[in-house]
Amino acid sequence: KDELRLIPIGYFDDVLNKQPLTRIYRPSLYDLLAHQALAIFQNDLLYLSKPAYQFQIEGKAAFGSEAEFLAENYESRDSASFKLIALKLYQELSRLHKDDETADARIIIALERLKFVRDNSVLPEKETAYIQALETLEKKYNSNSASTQISYAAATWYHGQAGKYLPQDKDQKHKKDNQTALRLCKEAMRRFPESEGAGLCKVLKLEIEHKSLDVKCETINLPGVPFRSLVSYRNLEKVWFRVVKVTEKERDAYQNINHEALLPKLIKRTAIKSWAVDLPKDQDYNPHLVELAMPAMDNGYYAILTSDNAQFSFDKHAVALTFTWCSRLAYASRSLDNEELEVFLFDRETGSPLPFVTCNIYIQKYNYDQRKHTYHKGKSYQSDKDGYIRIPAPSKNSNSFYLGFYYEGQQIRTNDSWYLYKGNHAVDRHSKQTIFFTDRGIYRPGQTVYFKGIVLDRFKDKSSIIPNYTSNITFNDANYQAINSISLTTNEFGTFQGTFVIPKGLMNGQFTLSGDHGSVSISVEDYKRPKFEVTFDPLKGSFKLGEKVKVTGKAMAYAGANIDGAEVKYRVVRTASFPYWGYWTWGRMMPNSPEMEIGSGSAKTDEKGVFEVEFSAIPDKEISAELKPQFAYTVQVDVVDITGETHSASQSVNVGYLALHADLAMPEAVEASHKDGFAIVTRNLNGQFEAAKGKITVHKLVSPNQVFRDRLWEMPDKFVMTQAEFYAKFPRDVYKDENDYHTWKKEREVFNTAFDSQKEDT
């Protein structure tokens, strides 16, 4: 090592790609080789054979100052751990450069170390520890040009936290995080404008200040009256609108042109209407939603162009495009058992059936010479006196088709397409693809399936990864019945990873892991006759957050003998859930609490085959206690006897800010004449009966004096119309959340009684 440290990296200029800044951060041959080694050891996936006592980064010292980090003695039985080796390498590099005349190398080493620790630590408060460490580091080296890289790392962290902002949160947590990130970038660019960190901050600043705009309208709106649009925007104060009327022939031609290519064509067209709207101002650099009123239009098909500038210029500006029909025609369709398609035509406003509506079939085919889809008119049908049309399936396979409806000068063409086959059904096509990888192809019941996935965006002959994409992963048994599901978000490389435990007692066969856009099958077989089983003892009592929780289990041979001296490898994983009556159930988003491993280790079974696992029920402090989250701590164990036979088991311990569930067996709608009572059962969070006394109060709520249409998009968080102005234009639509009974005021108390679940089956 000492000899390598004395060899300047400049000796190898002939075989290295010269990077001036990197030369400062890696001045010696030892620096170069150490960082090459770190590139390997920081990839924990290459460490395939992990022992039960695998090394974990648990303490705060790894997030500490250089002195605190160097004072820590990292040792473990898992001496081959890549994480352990990487930490020791960072200590070696820190010692090497702690007395340097300039602090450039020390700063970069500290930054890389903090990022590595943040990515691999199991410390519950690691996010807080990470940003505090960056702030301390930046303050210490503020006069060094390399400190701008610290500023960039901190700004990137705050920008990532801003993605968690939920407008409906009372505490408005993360609302100002983008502002903080922007301030850090500007300060870094001011201090050392020519530094590498300032360049990175400039790119991040552009990203934070980037303007975005999107507009949604209902596919079909009533003619002659205003209709709503939902505008999603960021960093905009005003938007301009232009409306262009589109013929049916032009509509067909536009189906083969993407919006980016179509926008210049439409902007050159003469607008039948144009106007501008001032948006609610909020300099938080976060995306916002607002509903705007569109002016009344006659029957027809329209392109609605929206821009952040009156000239509808594309250069450094945001432009959006959406289409809508204006027509009183409405339809509903369903597939019949005889493979026919039944369509019902009715008036969009009154709901009255429409007889004698002409229905044309438009068949979509791909023209390989022109390399585009074309539409050909097929058969025509007419609705009967009750507004119904039945379209039979062809005798052989056909292309997809769309429908066009024509009635008394009005028309609409469907965006929905259908396939009618004799004995076949349509297959959806998706532009996204999820590719799964499992740790093996065959498992036994009770074992854990470790899987990874990558989400790709398929466009023509190109594929690209999709970072920060959330999808629901479902684990299905051999009968394709859902066993479990989890929500996972891809990382910066477009990948995700997770685990499922295969329950015992199910039929063996091909089990399936499926996501939104892909799946993979695994085989589940009892391919070896087990000699013993692992079980957990039933949970007793309730637990409190922040306290120690102990679970016990037993390994017992099927012959009746206890399995003593067996090695027990365990891990504890925390997930969060929320009560079904929580605030997101009426159109608001659920806070994100990613799965986190909070503990792992090993133990031995005693002479009775018993083992114990103890852990701290640490909550996710990123989630407000007001939301009443419930945390599930899943203890997963693998027990290995002296012959090497392995069996797995798992047990979940639920702990929350509320220790009791009171379940009232009452349907949402009750007949007014109903006189029988409703059962109430009190249980702890782990589903066990727990006696409790309480009080039931029933209030009559002040409900709206009308029925509202369902909102077809997200609830806006910004408003340009008062409630009175909104109702004057849209009397049947929801302004904010007035159709949500959770927000209705109490009118009066109508019933009140006490209960004691210990004394009676209430």
Q: State the SS3 of 221-233.
A: ECCCCCEEEEEEE
The CATH number covering residue 386 comes to 2.60.40
- 697 φ/ψ angles, rounded to the nearest 5 degrees: -125, 135
The domain boundary, picked from 488, 506, 524, lies at 524
User: Same domain for 313 and 340?
Assistant: no
The domain boundary, picked from 326, 361, 391, lies at 326
Does residue 196 contact residue 222 with C-beta atoms inside 8 Å?
A: no
User: Same domain for 76 and 196?
Assistant: yes
Tens digit of each residue's pLDDT (9 = 90 or more) over 423-437 = 544 444 447 889 999
In a domain, 424, yes or no: no
- What gap in Å lies between CA 246 and CA 20, rounded to an integer? 57
Give how far Cα 428 sits from Cα of 256, 460, 461, 465, Å. 19, 17, 19, 21
In a domain, 492, yes or no: yes
In a domain, 34, yes or no: yes
Q: Is 249 helix (H, G, I), strand (E, B) or coil?
A: helix
The CATH number covering residue 507 comes to 2.60.40.1930
In a domain, 273, yes or no: yes
Tens digit of each residue's pLDDT (9 = 90 or more) over 235-265 = 999 999 999 999 988 888 887 788 888 888 8
Residues 6+ apart with CB under 8 A from 706: 731, 732
User: Same domain for 466 and 339?
Assistant: no
Tell me, what's the pLDDT at 746? 93
- 4 φ/ψ angles, rounded to the nearest 5 degrees: -65, -35
In a domain, 146, yes or no: yes
Does residue 607 contact residue 556 with C-beta atoms inside 8 Å?
A: no
Tens digit of each residue's pLDDT (9 = 90 or more) over 132-143 = 999 999 999 999
User: Same domain for 44 and 126?
Assistant: yes
Instruction: Give, as one character, the DSSP assignment of residue 622.
Output: T
The domain boundary, picked from 165, 189, 209, lies at 209
Got the DSSP string for 366-435? EETTTTEEEEEEEEEEE--TTSEEEEPPPSS----EEEEEEETTEEEE-S--B---SS-------SEEEE
User: Same domain for 138 and 49?
Assistant: yes
Tens digit of each residue's pLDDT (9 = 90 or more) over 52-87 = 567 888 889 999 999 999 999 998 888 888 889 999
- What gap in Å lies between CA 291 and CA 285, rounded to an integer? 19
The CATH number covering residue 312 comes to 2.60.40.10
What is the domain range of residue 401? 329-413
Average pLDDT taken over every residue of the chain: 87
Q: How many CB atoms lie within 10 A of CB 531?
A: 14
User: Same domain for 38 and 161?
Assistant: yes
The CATH number covering residue 611 comes to 2.60.40.1940
User: Same domain for 51 and 146?
Assistant: yes
Residues 6+ apart with CB under 8 A from 509: 477, 478, 523, 524
Residues 6+ apart with CB under 8 A from 566: 555, 604, 605, 609, 611, 639, 640, 641, 642
Does residue 384 contact residue 354 with C-beta atoms inside 8 Å?
A: no
Give how far Cα 265 sits from Cα of 250, 260, 262, 326, 600, Å. 11, 10, 5, 22, 61
In a domain, 419, yes or no: no
In a domain, 274, yes or no: yes
User: Same domain for 92 and 183?
Assistant: yes
User: Same domain for 146 and 23?
Assistant: yes
Report for 239-243, 335-339, 443-447: range of highest mean pLDDT? 239-243
Residue with tokens 């066990």: 688
In a domain, 762, yes or no: no
Least confident piece of the model among 62-71, 555-564, 622-631, 718-727: 622-631
Residue in 523, 536, 757 with CA at minimum distance from that of residue 636: 536
User: Same domain for 461 and 379?
Assistant: no
Total count of domains within the chain = 6
Q: What is the mean pLDDT of residues 160-181?
A: 88
User: Same domain for 175 and 151?
Assistant: yes
User: Same domain for 56 and 184?
Assistant: yes
Does residue 471 contact residue 495 with C-beta atoms inside 8 Å?
A: no
pTM attached to this predicted model? 0.74
